[in-house]
Structure 1
Amino acid sequence: MPKLRIKKSRRIIFTLLLLLCLTFGAWLWWQEREEALNFVRYEEFGIEMPVNYAIHGIDVSRFQKNINWSAVEQMQVDRIHISFAFIKATEGITRQDASFKQNWQKAKKAGIVRGAYHFFYSTRDPLKQVINFQNVVQLESGDLPPVLDIEVHNNQPPAVIRSTARIWLEEMEKAYGVKPIIYTNMHFYETYLGEEFDRYPLWVAHYYQKERPSTQRHWLFWQHSDIGRVNGISTTVDFNVFRGDSLALRKLCLP
């Protein structure tokens, strides 16, 4: 009997080691797959595009002037076309983007998945910033969650930035029933926000380097350029990719 137990124990150990090796091998394969990032330059877009991603988008504000959204949606080069757009709505407690209403309506009419963002100041009352956004933006089914654009510290300590941002995010989640998206760069995220915000979807800014954002934190959107070109917009524009397919993008939207 003792010999049988020893043999059985060895089989169990062997099986566990085999499973561990297979898991590690799968992880290495995935890492290599993730690291094989390919950029292709398209003269039509004026930039090199990370072609590993299937879903591409832009973000705009009044600085893009008068946008022909039909032309934006109709532009396609190879398999790349604009599927979504983040549109600036508000800033602080009083400022409202002059082009928001027009962009918001025309983007939807053109069939582009739309999202609205608020430029946040930790030196301003977060509840008043919530009211400013909600007075301007009427989110509907099929729209992306509200976005907190948080990228300036205004000489505030991390504790103040975290506490004010948390209020804005929690109020938005109560109002719309979805977790808002955080937009920032990784330095700001790691310095001023940190782990307690990891449960929110992340849209990360990371320009001019042919590599993915350097972080262990999972992100959903990557703003990879601010000098792109697209039909229907006379100025340069920020380009983004979504880390997923069209079904995942739709699932992220408001029901």
Structure 2
Amino acid sequence: MLHGVDVSAYQPSYDTDGLDFVFIKSTEGRTYVNPRLDAQVKRARDAECVVGFYHFLWPGDVKDQVAYFLSRTPEKEGDLLAVDWEQTGGGTRASSADKDRFLRAVKRERPGHRVLLYCNRAFWRTHDTSGYAGDGLWIADYVAAGKPRIEASWRIHQ
């Protein structure tokens, strides 16, 4: 089993010992960029981890959010790209159709990268209407490692 973490501005430093991959929050909506992004990327690359980046999706303006994410996210062959699809702090959420459009647009713009969907089990079961997860599902379900309680195929279990 591979081991990894996801980090955002709330984790100014993290231990890379024993990690195979690191997912780093890059952007959110159309206005937020992780202020620790460069340092977190350097730490992961220095440790020779596979690096992934994620964008926290807000409702609406999918085309603008894709452009924002890709323009502010480092591009290196082999990096993973993901969309974080969940409820916002304001209690809203992007639709399942918005999520699908985001994943497809990122894949179209960066065809050499794997593009993943991140969400938690309850959100997936309640709000997903298409089952579309791009190149793979990164599911949060806080049970035994490697045994998420979902029927869908998954690539990463948190």
* Structure 1 and Structure 2 fold alike (TM over 0.5): yes
TM range (shorter): 0.7 to 0.9
1:136 aligns with 2:75: no
Residue 165 of structure 1: CA displacement?
A: 1.4
**TM-score, length-normalised on structure 2?**
0.87
Q: Are the counterparts in 1 of residues 139 and 154 from structure 2 also a CA contact under 8 Å?
A: yes
The structure having more radius of gyration, on CA atoms, is 1
Alignment of 1:39-118 (within 5 A): 54-67=1-14, 72-73=15-16, 75=17, 81-118=18-55
Q: Deviations over 1:105-124 (max 9, x none)?
A: 231122111000001112x3
**CA distance in 2 between partners of 1:217 and 1:192 (Å):** 14
Structure-2 separation of matches of 1:85 and 1:155: 28
Alpha-carbon contact 1:198-1:217 (below 8 Å) kept: no
Q: 1:142 to 1:121 in 2, by over 3 A?
A: same
Give the drift of 1:142: 2.3
Question: What is the distance in 2 between the residues matched to 1:55 and 1:184?
Answer: 19
**Could you tell me how far apart the structure 2 residues matched to 1:173 and 1:58 are?**
23
Q: Which residue of 1 aligns with 2:63?
A: 127
Cα gap change, 1:99 to 1:127, in 2 (>3 Å): same
Identity of aligned residues (%): 27
Measure, in 2, the Cα distance between the counterparts of 1:202 and 1:180.
9
Name which structure has the greater RCO, CA cutoff 8 Å, separation 6+.
1
Compute the RMSD of aligned alpha carbons.
2.0
Instruction: Go from structure 1 to structure 2 and tell me whether the alpha carbon gap of 1:136 and 1:217 turns closer, same or farther (over 3 Å shift).
Output: same
Q: Is the 8 A contact 2:115 2:134 kept in 1?
A: no
More helix as a share of residues: 1
The number of residue pairs the alignment matches comes to 154
The alpha-carbon distance between structure 1 residues 196 and 66, as it changes in their structure 2 partners (threshold 3 A), is closer
What letter is aligned with 2:121?
Answer: M
> Which residue is equivalent to 2:101?
167
**Equivalent residue for 1:181?**
116
1:49-71, Cα deviation, whole Å (9 max, x unpaired): xxxxx21111101111134xxxx
Whole-angstrom distance in 2 between the partners of 1:142 and 1:206 = 26
2-side partners of 1:98 and 1:200: how far apart? 28
Does the 8 Å CA contact 2:83/2:118 hold for their aligned counterparts? yes
- Given the alignment, which residue of 139, 146, 152 partners 2:87? 152
**Which whole-Å CA distance do the structure 2 matches of 1:110 and 1:198 have between them?**
28
- Looking at structure 2, the residues matched to 198 and 61 of structure 1 have their Cα atoms a distance apart, in angstroms, of 22
**Residue 41 of structure 1: aligned partner:** none
Shift of 1:200: 3.8
Contact 2:12–2:36 (CA<8 Å) still a contact in 1?
Answer: yes
Unpaired segments ≥5 residues, structure 2: none
> Is the 8 Å Cα contact of residues 169 and 179 (structure 1) preserved in structure 2?
no
Partner of 2:20, secondary structure, is strand
